[in-house]
Amino acid sequence: MKRLLAGVLVVLLLAIGLTSAGFAEEEKVLNMYFSAAENWGALLAEKFEEYADCRVDWIRMSSAETYARLKAESDNPRGDVWVGGTLDPHTVAADEGLTEAYQPSNWDEQIVAVRDPVGDLRVLGMYSGVLGFGVNVPLLEAEGIAIPQSWEDLLDPSLKGYVGMANPNTSGTALTTVGTLVQVFGEDEAFEYMTKLHQNIGVYTKSGAAPGVLVGRGELGVCIIFLHDVIKHAEWGYPVTPIVPEEGTGFEIGGLNLIAGAPHPELAKLFIDWVLSAEVQELMSSVKSYQLPTNMNAIVPDVAQKIFDDAKDRLIAYDFTYVGENALRWMERWTAEVYSQSR
């Protein structure tokens, strides 16, 4: 009997020990879906682990891919926070209840024009960037091809096979391109334009920044891309030049969202507050991400400010709500009317 009691006591003590060792208090883990530059995501994960004394599990996906993942996981959400990527897929996700509103503690520090771009805190603005062209000027000059200065110039037959852009079904950058063209030319005219442009496309990439690398390597001559990526590629040593289209162009606001039904919502809210602080937003330039931060107290690198200064007279009044309402339909139309055509 004494042996039995002793055995029971040992089991109880072991159970108490196991509980105090880790079962009583769940490990702090933030699950981050990240849709901007991968090295920036890695830096944020590292710094937040130090700040919050937690572990960050994260994956880099384009904004369109992240939207698809949230939709697939809607009955059993796995992610806590969606960070970065163009606003349009974030807006679609918010409209479908895949994310939820949250007002950060440093709300008053955020630039009013970009902090709540679709209203009711459905999507938070995290940064902004200008859409344009990345051009390998030496390559095109060597081939005797005029340097494109406008959307219309991209239709020049001499550019057949030289133009690159991402696929709107996988890339938020490309969806912003579609939204821009619709707002510059009108919807039917924009799809007629993209059908013609299709004949000059050398490759459609999965991600929005990838065509810039191909242009830098000389595999393409020009691409449609966010201009902060062109600046980054130029700093890598690629012979690329940023150009703002003459007819006007759109811009992105990088989205930031608390995922609906997040397994760790309080940790996600802490992350949102942290990533919108001036000190953290200033980290972007350390990994050559030159978007404009949304925190008005953040120091903006000259190279990032110059992109906007050069483009400000050609920026359209990009309607994020309008794009969000029509994005899925436009993606289907692009696939059916543009991508399906031979070239």
What mean pLDDT is reported for the chain?
92
pLDDT surpassing 70 at residue 10: no
pLDDT at 18 over 60: no
Across-strand partners of 126? none
Q: Write out the H or E segment, with its range, that includes residue 17.
A: helix 2-18
What is residue 2's predicted lDDT score, i.e. its pLDDT? 39
The C-alpha angle with vertex 96 and arms to 95 and 101, in degrees rounded to 5, equals 60
Q: What burial class does residue 2 get, using C-beta atoms within 10 Å of its C-beta: 0-12 exposed, 13-18 middle, 19+ buried? A: exposed
DSSP for 274-332 reads HHTSHHHHGGGGGGT--PEESBTTSPPPHHHHHHHHHHGGGB----HHHHHHHHHHHHH
What is the identity of the amino acid at 137? Answer: V
Q: Residue 166 to residues 100, 156, 198, 210: CA-CA distances in angstroms?
A: 28, 20, 12, 8
| Range 29-129+251-305 has CATH code 3.40.190.10 | yes
> Homologous superfamily of 130-250+324-339 in CATH?
Periplasmic binding protein-like II (3.40.190.10)
Q: What is the pLDDT of residues 177-232, one digit of tens each?
A: 999 999 999 999 999 999 999 999 999 999 999 999 999 999 999 999 999 999 99
* Contact status, residue 127 vs residue 254, Cβ threshold 8 Å: yes
Quote the CA–CA distance of 151 and 99 in Å, as a whole number: 35
Letter string b/e over residues 112-149, b meaning 16 or more CB atoms within 10 A of that residue's CB: eebbbbbeebbbbbbbbbbbbbbbbeebbeeeeeeebe
User: In this predicted structure, what is the pLDDT of residue 108?
Assistant: 98
Please give the structure tokens belonging to residue 186.
């009108």
For the whole model, what pTM was predicted? 0.86
Residue 26: predicted pLDDT: 61
Domain with CATH 3.40.190.10 in the chain: 29-129+251-305, 130-250+324-339
| Pair of tokens at residue 65 | 């891919």
Coil, strand or helix at 230: helix
Is residue 128's pLDDT more than 90? yes
Q: Is 48 exposed, middle or buried (0-12, 13-18, 19+ CB in 10 A)?
A: buried
Give the per-residue pLDDT at 25. 44
In the predicted structure, residue 90 carries a pLDDT above the cut 60: yes
Task: Compare 233 and 25 and report the one with higher pLDDT.
Answer: 233
pLDDT in tens, 265-296: 999 999 999 999 999 999 999 999 999 999 99
